[in-house]
Amino acid sequence: MNVLLDYLPQFRDGFLGTLAITASSALLALVLGVLIAGFRVSPIPPLRAFGTAWVTVLRNTPLTLLFLVAFFVVPQVLFQGASPYVLATLALGFYTSSFVCEAVRSGINTVPLGQAEAARSLGMTFSQTLGQIVLPQATRTVLPPLSSIFIALTKNSAIAGAFGFGELFNVSKLLNDKGYAIAWIFLWTALAYLIITFAISAVFRLLERRMGVAR
């Protein structure tokens, strides 16, 4: 009685589900995180305050609570009838965006001061300085923390399974209900997560090597 071979289609669907939810919420978190990081260093006080509040609240909220907000409050406020995939992406993406924002902000702080000063003395505006000079150079220092943020995101996506989205945690619940030994289910799911997380760190290591510039 080999769980993996008997239920290969389910495992494959769960694996793809985890990949899909990780990819979409990583994209959302990246876009939001860079945007909020821009807010936090901008010359406009209300935007700075908004960015600080965003990071403080989201970092200190349990992810399970955010899932409850996404699944029970968002339908009441914004739109009804969204799929669990969309709602889980919202919760995971918003939560992770606060960590991405902090990583990007500390990356911005590691870019040598002379770069921004030179850009300003050429007459560049804030958004030009940030977008064309500072952020591209910050990318390299942001990559290693970003890699571990995305690995954490992969692991956090298991919570989406508890809210009815079909991914690996959901599969392990399903197979347990069918009466298979939990130890084997646990090992196979662990292996599937290991594959994803190793792939993420491999991709990031490749990116780091590509972007590595001697300074």
The tokens for 193 are 């997560």
**Choice between 93 and 161, CB closer to other proteins:** 161
Supply the minimum distance, in Å, between the C-beta of residue 105 and other proteins.
Answer: 9
Of residues 6-35, which lie at the interface with other proteins (CB under 8 A)? none
Supply the minimum distance, in Å, between the C-beta of residue 192 and other proteins.
Answer: 10
One residue of 194, 203, 206, 211 binding other proteins per CB under 8 A: 194
Supply the minimum distance, in Å, between the C-beta of residue 114 and other proteins.
Answer: 9
Lay out the site mask for other proteins across 140-179 (x = CB under 8 A, - = otherwise).
----xx-xx--xx-xxxxxx-xx-----xx--xx--x---
The residue behind tokens 């939810």 is 21
Interaction of residue 186 with other proteins, rule CB under 8 A: yes
The tokens for 38 are 């821009």
Distance CA 126, CA 132 (A): 10
Supply the minimum distance, in Å, between the C-beta of residue 126 and other proteins.
Answer: 4
The tokens for 30 are 């990246």
Of residues 60-119, which lie at the interface with other proteins (CB under 8 A)? 60-65, 68-69, 72-73, 76-78, 99, 102, 106, 108-113, 116-117
